[in-house]
């Protein structure tokens, strides 16, 4: 049982069975206000107050107290610092605007070469890494018996590369420098896993059960949704070669 989800055990068992392909019916998630007094939470408070994650947790809990979580839905506080925060950990300077966080420049060259991306690594003194670590610790320390904490949106590897390299340049690299791009992809993937494991360890140390993310699908084991937003510009052939 969770404070904001009384039938959490039932929902948890349903989701666990869904992962094992044991259900013969769809899993539905429904949320609604508990009364006419509804408190709005848009999920961007971590970005609005990047150094004060406790404000986001407080706002989220207030929303939960006014919200009914039906079916397999559950109070999911995912650490939202924008889609693809890994690019900020590797040097991009994110810009928050109203309801999203922007990374890099989609219309101009980025700041990193393929050679630099092939050697890039996590700097644990990076301000955005420290912010996400602090937010994760703050959320998990407050979650027990109340809500689930979702892993931050680390991002798709090629989305991260496009933010750092430039979207147009990355697409040109597929034609002009495919092997060098693949080397960069391999390295950024390794860094991705390193970051995930470090954040996952923090959650485990604080007693968090299972994993969740921005999709709001709890799993009793370790998981994360794969993604590649920039692939809408790829042909099936390029997708298979560089993404699949």
Q: State which H helix or E strand residue 148 sits in.
A: strand 148-150
- The pair of structure tokens assigned to 73 is 């839905």
Alpha carbons 150 and 146: distance in angstroms, whole number = 13
Q: For residue 118, tell me if it sits in a domain.
A: yes
Which domain range does residue 58 map to?
Answer: 8-242
> Predicted confidence band at 60 (pLDDT cuts at 50, 70, 90)?
very high
Q: Do 39 and 63 contact (CB within 8 A), yes or no? A: yes
For 68-115, what is each residue's pLDDT tens digit?
A: 999 999 999 999 999 999 999 999 999 998 888 999 865 567 889 999
Mean pLDDT of the chain: 95
- Number of domains present in the structure of the chain: 1
Q: Quick one: pLDDT at residue 105?
A: 67
Q: What pLDDT, on the 0 to 100 scale, is given for residue 206?
A: 86
Residue 2 within any structural domain of the chain: no
- Cα 102 to its chain centre, rounded Å, is 14
Residue 44 included in any domain: yes
User: Does some domain include residue 126?
Assistant: yes
pLDDT of residue 31: 96
Query: Does the residue 3 lie in any domain?
Result: no
pTM over cut 0.85: yes
pLDDT for position 107: 56
User: Tokens standing for 67?
Assistant: 């919200």
Q: Tell me, what's the pLDDT at 204?
A: 95
In a domain, 161, yes or no: yes
Give Cα 183 distance to the centre of its chain.
24
Given a contact cutoff of 8 angstroms between Cβ atoms, the answer to whether 241 and 169 are in contact is no
Establish if 160 belongs to a structural domain: yes
Q: What pLDDT score was predicted for residue 186?
A: 98
Domain contains 1: no
The pLDDT of residue 99: 86
What is the mean predicted confidence (pLDDT) over 106-131?
91
């Amino acid at each position: 049982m969770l404070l904001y989800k009384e039938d959490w055990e039932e929902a948890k068992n349903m989701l666990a069975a869904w992962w094992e392909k044991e259900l013969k019916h769809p899993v539905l998630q429904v949320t609604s206000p508990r009364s006419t007094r509804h408190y709005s939470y848009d999920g961007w408070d971590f970005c609005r107050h990047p150094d004060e994650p406790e404000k986001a947790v407080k706002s989220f809990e207030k929303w939960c107290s006014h919200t009914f979580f039906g079916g397999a839905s559950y109070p999911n506080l995912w650490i939202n610092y924008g889609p693809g925060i890994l690019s900020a950990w590797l040097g991009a300077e994110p810009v928050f605007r109203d309801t999203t966080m922007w990374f890099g420049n989609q219309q101009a060259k980025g700041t990193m070469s393929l050679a630099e991306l092939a050697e890039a690594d996590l700097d644990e003194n990076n301000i955005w890494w420290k912010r996400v670590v602090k937010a994760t610790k703050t959320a998990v320390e407050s979650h027990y018996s109340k809500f689930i904490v979702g892993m931050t949106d680390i991002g798709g590897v090629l989305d991260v590369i496009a933010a750092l390299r430039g979207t147009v340049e990355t697409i040109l690299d597929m034609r002009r420098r495919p092997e060098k791009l693949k080397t960069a992809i391999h390295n950024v993937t390794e860094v991705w896993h390193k970051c995930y494991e470090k954040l996952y360890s923090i959650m485990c140390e604080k007693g968090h059960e299972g994993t969740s993310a921005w999709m709001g699908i709890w799993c009793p084991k370790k998981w994360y949704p794969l993604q590649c937003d920039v692939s809408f510009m790829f042909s099936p052939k390029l997708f298979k070669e560089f993404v699949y």
